[in-house]
Amino acid sequence: MTDRGPAHQPGLARHTVRRTTGGRRKKRTWPWIIVGVLAVVVAIGGWVGIRGYLAKGELEAAVPLASRIQQQVIDGDTEGAAATLATFQQHSASARSLTSDFVWRATEFVPWAGSNLRVVRELTEVVDDLAQDGVGPLTELAGKLNPGDFRPVDHTIALQPLIDAAPTVRVAANAIERAQVKAHGIRRDDVIGSLRDAADLLQKSIDEVAAAAATLDNSLELLPTMLGAEGPRNYLVLFQNPAELRSGGGVVGALALISASNGRLELVQQTPGANFFKSGATPIEVPEDTRSLYGAIVGEYILDVTLTPHFPLSGSLAREMWADEYGTEVDGVIAVDPIALSYLLEATGPIEIAGGLSLNSDNAAQTLLNDVYWKYPDPVDQDAFFASATSAVFEAVVGGGADPTQMIEAFARGGAERRILMWFPDATQERTLEGTTLAGGLPHSDDETTRLGLYFNDGTGSKMDWYLERTISVGDAVCRNDGRRAVQVDVTLTNTSPADGSLPTHITGGGSFGTTPGNIKTVLALYAPPGSINQGTQERGADGSFTEIGAHQAKDSKYIVSQLSVELAPQESRTVRYTMLLKPSAGDKIVIVPTPGIYLPVTEQHSLTC
pLDDT digits (tens, 9 = 90+) for 515-524: 999 999 999 9
Q: Is 585 strand, coil or helix?
A: coil
pLDDT for 302: 93
Average pLDDT over residues 34-55: 48
Is 483 buried (19+), middle (13-18) or exposed (0-12) by CB count in 10 A? exposed
Is residue 409 within 8 Å of residue 353, measured between CB atoms? no
DSSP 135: I
304: enclosing H helix or E strand: none
Is 231 buried (19+), middle (13-18) or exposed (0-12) by CB count in 10 A? exposed
d(CA 338, CA 419): 9
Is residue 521 within 8 Å of residue 515, measured between CB atoms? yes
Beta strand extents in 441-558 (DSSP E only): 449-458, 468-478, 485-495, 520-528, 533-540, 546-549, 552-556
Least confident of 93-97, 356-360, 453-457, 551-555: 93-97
Residue 374 is which amino acid?
W
Is residue 563 within 8 Å of residue 293, measured between CB atoms? yes
Is 511 buried (19+), middle (13-18) or exposed (0-12) by CB count in 10 A? middle
Instruction: Using the predicted structure, report yes or no on whether residue 261 has a pLDDT greater than 80.
Output: yes
Is residue 182 within 8 Å of residue 129, measured between CB atoms? yes
| φ, ψ at 158 (rounded to 5°) | -65, 125
d(CA 450, CA 443): 9
Give per-residue pLDDT as tens, 211-239.
888 888 888 899 999 999 999 999 999 99
Q: Which domains does the chain carry? A: 32-226 (no CATH), 233-423 (3.40.630.190), 443-605 (2.60.40)
Q: What is the mean pLDDT of the chain?
A: 87
Give per-residue pLDDT as tens, 565-583.
999 999 999 999 999 999 9
pLDDT for 74: 73
Q: Is 601 strand, coil or helix?
A: coil
Q: How many CB atoms lie within 10 A of CB 409?
A: 15
Instruction: Using the predicted structure, report yes or no on whether residue 47 has a pLDDT greater than 60.
Output: no
Which among 442, 430, 418, 433 has a CA at the least distance from the CA of 530?
442
Output 315 or 357, whichever has higher pLDDT: 315
Sheet holding 485-495, edge to edge: 546-549, 533-540, 573-581, 485-495, 468-478, 602-605
pLDDT for 49: 53
pLDDT for 442: 97
Q: Is 469 strand, coil or helix?
A: strand
pLDDT for 501: 80
Output 403 or 18, whichever has higher pLDDT: 403
- Torsion angle of the four alpha carbons 530, 534, 538, 544, in this order, in degrees rounded to the nearest 10: -80
